[in-house]
Structure 1
Amino acid sequence: MLFVNTERLRVAYREHGNPDGEPLILLHGWPDDVHTWNPILPRLERWRVIMPSLRGYGETRFLQPDTPRSGQLSALAQDVLDLAEAMGIRRFHVAGHDWGARAAYNASLLEPERVKSCVAISVGWGTNDPGQAISLVQARNYWYHWYMATERGAEALRKERREFAHLLWRTWSPSWHFTEGEFHDTMHAFDNPDWAAVTIHSYRHRWGLAPSDPYYSEQEERLRHESVIKVPTLVLHGTEDGANSPQTSEHKEHLFSATYQRILLSGVGHFPQREAPDAVASAIVEWLDQY
């Protein structure tokens, strides 16, 4: 792992591909880590690929003990922008899965002049507004959100983090039979001392059940009142996604003022880059080649 300091974090990251290529930042989701991108990396050799561990994961650490262990989505987005700034990268492509997709969307809205293009995997734009209407099917999918809103659920996450994550992997992608080795390579990222705190705050904050970190008040204000993304955006969503139903990414075209494309991946669950790496890599390469 390589490391770079932002104002609040010591960010651990990996690099791949052409060091002189256009920067492409890949953002993993929850519960996952940078290993999630390994299956598609051989197709991304032309780009300077940067894969950070998000706050609360792997070897990424907060610089100060009194910094709130916030998992709010505005903080995740600002982390992306701060990472690029710390690395001297003015403009970049960004692709994210799950939490990473939400961070990619938000970074694109907050600073569109810096993001050349955006790829979001397994997440539709704007699906975690606390006041949103959700279907009963999606409410069922979000059981772990509601569970972590209780102290009992939070304690289960703290004590059984690996078992918690393993259960979600199995249920979110019903046709994917991952190996125990794949899970083993990733599960160590959850041993970060801040993983549980960041996770619990993230899911509680999304539903208005936890306070915001005031440090991100400006970003929060903009994300509450602005909804149209001005960056070219590609969405990839599996038809068997058991975390975010593919219906949650439908009918979003009006929220994008630049080129927008949505691709459904048949028979694929919540982890397309792991389950269908050839299809995902091909879609990403074709998309990036346009910009």
Structure 2
Amino acid sequence: GGNTSLGPIKQIDAGELSIGYAEAGPAGGPVVVLLHGWPYDIHSYVDVTPRLVAAGYRVIVPFLRGYGPTRFLSKDTFRNGQQSAIAADIVALLDALKIDKAVFGGFDWGARTAVIIAALWPERCKALVSVSGYLVTNRETNKQPLSPAAELGWWYQYYFATERGILGYTKNRHDFNKLIWKIASPKWNFDDATYDRSAACFDNPDHVAIVIHNYRWRLSLADGDPKLDALEAKLAQGPAVSVPTITIGSDFDGPNTDGKAYRSKFSGKYEHRVLNGIGHNVPQEAPEEFAKAILDVDRF
């Protein structure tokens, strides 16, 4: 730990959004794009970024749609949380920044986004670090129940499926997301300042709409955007990832910590690493190990 800021936030129009992002390192350096999850923000990478900059990388850390200073360009745009929309945002960001390809790293929503880019836009992804492995959502699979113990972990998804959940998340998002942090990382003793620094991003005017839609879409309780149907049809096939990849399992992943369940989804150079005693927010809880995975996978 020790770092508290990623520096001044830049803003650029990309696709449907004006995306807020942090940037560090030499302008001509090889690019790493680091993607946060829910309910987190760019500060998950506050201690990873300096390690990559020290190795000569140009590091881009964007706020996803619905987080921090990222805004929709039009009030009329569908506030869509579906997985392909978020991936398309990041491809649009690469285009706007004139970046041909990058190494991608992510966890939670960010890992899903990075895997989707690696699978559907492999020409834009040089290599990949994905916490929890292959997280592409399959809506048909999601129609089937899990074991009771596994369902318990998804309580918030079912809460978000209700009107009460929308009201509760809108009103209590600060305390709600702090609870999620504690559940997802029980051994991580973060302080209030660390949480509050990230929690500011939940005040985004579209945050609740994006989060609720994301989880409702997964359960087929909300429709996606028809113009993304072709991308989602590809993702429904469970496309393999061919780019060099390191996956990371942590305590949060439970029975999938060993990575065996998704090993077949990675067809290129591949390694799986296990971090014991670490929760879901791997880059913030174990920045040295996460940064090392980025450096290592880029040398595969």
Q: TM-score range by the shorter chain?
A: over 0.9
Shift of 1:209: 1.1
Asked if 1 retains the 8 angstrom alpha-carbon contact of 2:52 and 2:59, the reply is yes
Distance (Å, rounded) in 2 between the aligned partners of 1:82 and 1:75: 10
- Counterpart position of 1:21: 29
Residues 219-253 of structure 1 show CA distances to partners (whole Å, capped at 9, x for unaligned) of 112111242112222111212x1xx4351743212
Q: Distance in 2 between matches of 1:48 and 1:87?
A: 12
For 2:158, the aligned partner's letter is W
Q: CA deviation at 1:11?
A: 0.5
* Contact in 2 for aligned 1:105/1:125 (Cα 8 Å): yes
Task: For 1:83-102, list aligned pairs within 5 A.
Answer: 83-102=93-112
DSSP 3-state at the match of 2:77 = coil
Q: Secondary structure at the match of 2:20?
A: strand
Find the counterpart in structure 2 of residue 124 from structure 1: 133
Distance 2:140 2:294 in 1: 32
Q: Structure 1 residues 10 and 185 mapped into 2: Cα distance closer, same or farther (>3 Å)?
A: same
Partner residue of 2:45? 37
Q: Distance in 1 between matches of 2:178 and 2:136?
A: 24
Whole-Å separation in 2 of the counterparts to 1:246 and 1:69: 34
Displacement over 6 Å in runs of 4+: none
Map 1:177-196 to 2 at 5 A: 177-196=189-208
- Does the 8 A contact of 1:124 with 1:250 survive in 2? no
Equivalent pairs, count: 286
Q: Mind listing any 5+ residue stretches in structure 2 that lack a counterpart?
A: 1-8
More deviation, 164-173/247-256: 247-256
Q: 2:24 touches 2:58 (CA, 8 Å); kept in 1? A: yes
Partner of 2:256: 247
Query: Displacement of 1:127 after TM fit?
Result: 5.8
Distance in 1 (CA, whole Å) between partners of 2:255 and 2:24 is 31
**Does the 8 A contact of 1:173 with 1:269 survive in 2?**
yes
User: One-letter code of the match for 1:37?
Assistant: Y
Query: How many angstroms does 1:279 deviate by?
Result: 2.0
**Structure 2 contact 40–199 (Cα < 8 Å) conserved:** yes
CA-to-aligned-CA distance 1:181-237 (integer Å, 9 cap, x gap): 100111110000000000000001011111011231221121112421122221112
Q: Which amino acid counterpart does residue 162 of structure 2 have in structure 1?
A: T
Cα RMSD for the two superposed structures: 1.5
Partners of 1:58 and 1:252 in 2: CA distance = 32
Scaled by the length of structure 1, what TM-score is found? 0.94
Give the distance between the partners of 2:274 and 2:290, measured in 1 at CA.
11
Match of 1:154 in 2: 166
Residue 10 of structure 1 contacts residue 62 of structure 1 at CA under 8 Å; is this kept in 2?
yes
Unaligned runs of 5+ in 1: none
CA distance in 2, matches of 1:17, 1:37: 14
